[in-house]
Structure 1
Amino acid sequence: MNNLSVLVIDDDTEHAEYLVEYLSQIQALSHIKVTQSPQEGMKELLQTHYDLLFLDMHMPEITGIELLKSLSLPPTIVVTAHPSFALECFDIDTVVDFIEKPVTLIRLTRAVQRATQEISPMLPKALFLKVGHKMQQFNIDDILYIEADGIYCKIHTKSEVTLANINISDIEKKLSNTNLVRLHKSFIYNLTRITSFDNRHLWIDKQRFSLGVQYRGKLSQILNAKPAE
């Protein structure tokens, strides 16, 4: 499972940077945001959807435990230098793992794998979009790519092309928990349908597409593979 968005709440700047460096090497994670106070973290969680939260415990004004008890949080991995919090954390349903500092890449990877088992049942299998005057269901796995067409989008599957009444930016927001990823200003591609790629292009079967300049590093990061020159 790929393309998970992550929020890190940790007031220790040095440790947060160290944590992000490791998390950026884990294939399943595509977007990592850091906040350095629980207040900033609460605001971020209320405004933006995140698939996974990495949470420090010992922070000023609001502790990690208080944050866990005050909000409905995404699956949470606690990362702390204070093992005394462990028992209380595991009594909270949203906590999927507890890691003592200092962290290691292997331990973080195992924690992410545990978290994805919690997240996977919640992943959408189908997408409803307005087509003409009705809402039509699309099986997400059947979509090869989505193409912007003015204020509309063309949904490409192996069997047909359908014009949906939605623009590409709005449809991108609906796909944050799927393998459909925007890699060009006018295209969203199904990662599971990509057969090959290089620095400037990707292929779905034998059809070639351009990678947007601002997206070129994103694909190799998501797929955890260096592109061909």
Structure 2
Amino acid sequence: MANLTIVGVDDEYPALQLIRQYCDQIEDISLLNTFQNPEEALEYLKETRVDLVILDINMPYMSGIELLQQLPYKPLCIFLTLETQYAVKAFELDVVHYLVKPVDFETFRRAVNKAKDFLQFKNSSENKKQEDFIMFKSNYIMNKVFLEDIRWIQGFGEYIILVTPLKKYMILERMSNFEEKFQDLGFIRIHKSYIVLAAHISSYDAANVYLKDGEKLPLGRTYKSFLKSYMQ
């Protein structure tokens, strides 16, 4: 498991205390420093590369979003904030998680472990040879994503979200169109709003599909029989 280096930034001292307390209870991470002043944090982070920053958003002098955008590199990020209106912006910045205060330890731990998984995936895939991939347009850019990196596809009306360990892609396409276009590659519909690769399914029960990476997705009633026959 990767050793994740972390810096916490929050103008409220009790919040930083909580971050320290929670981080002390999680294995394989190193909380290098914490800052109440985001400008001081920015200077530190320019000199010291870290894997993950845990950021408040609404802070004096500089917001967490502004801090993240000014860094010369792109660390993983978890927003830990009272604000709820910046979730879309967080999605655009590819943050690992968006936590709304107050946050209990288990929720915090899951978010940090997700960042650990991202780092491990990134490190392990640097020299990995992959052959099967799909191409699609997202935000006016053509993207190439390898099949083994696609965790699931989720539908939102005229759009779908393609989820990988490192990034989420918003694509202007309906679920039915995606399903038809790539069905020969092993994708399977498990719910009106979810498509997965059959090769990534570990098991399923009456209500859920369990992926090999530990994720749990809903299983729609109308898709149970098809999944059963497909997996036999």
Compute the TM-score of the two structures, normalised by the length of structure 2: 0.50
Q: Answer whether contact 2:3 2:28 (CA < 8 A) is retained.
A: yes
> CA offsets, 1:184-226, max 9 Å, x none?
xxxxxxxxxxxxxxxxxxxxxxxxxxxxxxxxxxxxxxxxxxx
Report the equivalent of 2:166: none
Per the alignment, residue 112 of structure 2 pairs with 112
Greater Cα offset, 27-36 or 15-24: 27-36
Match of 2:90 in 1: 89
Count of residue pairs the alignment pairs up: 125
Q: After superposition, what is the alpha-carbon deviation per residue over 1:72-128, rounded to whole angstroms, capped at 9, x for unaligned?
A: 3310000001111111111112x11000011111001110121122211333799xx
| Structure 1 contact 19–103 (Cα < 8 Å) conserved | no
2:5 corresponds to: 5
Looking at structure 1, the residues matched to 88 and 5 of structure 2 have their Cα atoms a distance apart, in angstroms, of 27
CA-atom RMSD, angstroms? 1.9
5+ residue gaps in structure 2? 127-232
Check conservation: 1:79, 1:101, Cα contact below 8 A. yes
Residue 188 of structure 2: aligned partner: none
Instruction: Say if 1:79 and 1:99, in contact at 8 Å, map to a contact too.
Output: yes
Judge conservation of contact 2:76–2:96 (CA < 8 Å) in 1.
Answer: yes
Gap change, CA 1:24 and 1:88, over 3 Å in 2:
same
1:6-155 aligned at under 5 Å gives the runs 6-71=6-71, 72-93=73-94, 95-123=95-123
Aligned 8 A contact 1:38 1:64 in 2: yes
Distance in 2 of aligned mates of 1:57 and 1:90: 14
**What CA distance in whole angstroms lies between the structure 1 residues aligned with 2:124 and 2:98?**
27
Query: Displacement, 1:61?
Result: 1.2
The share of aligned pairs that are identical, in percent, is 33
Q: CA deviation at 1:28?
A: 2.3
The DSSP-based 3-state class of the residue aligned with 1:83 is: coil
Deviations 1:1-30 (CA, angstroms, capped at 9, x unpaired): 243211001110111101210111011213
SS for the counterpart of 2:39 is helix
Distance in structure 2 (CA, Å) of the matches to 1:77 and 1:5: 13
Which aligned runs of 4 or more in structure 1 are off by greater than 4 angstroms? none
Higher RCO, 1 vs 2 (CA within 8 Å, ≥6 residues apart): 1
Structure 1 unpaired stretches of 5+:
127-229
Q: Separation in 2 of the partners of 1:8 and 1:122?
A: 22
TM-score of the superposed pair, with normalisation by structure 1:
0.51
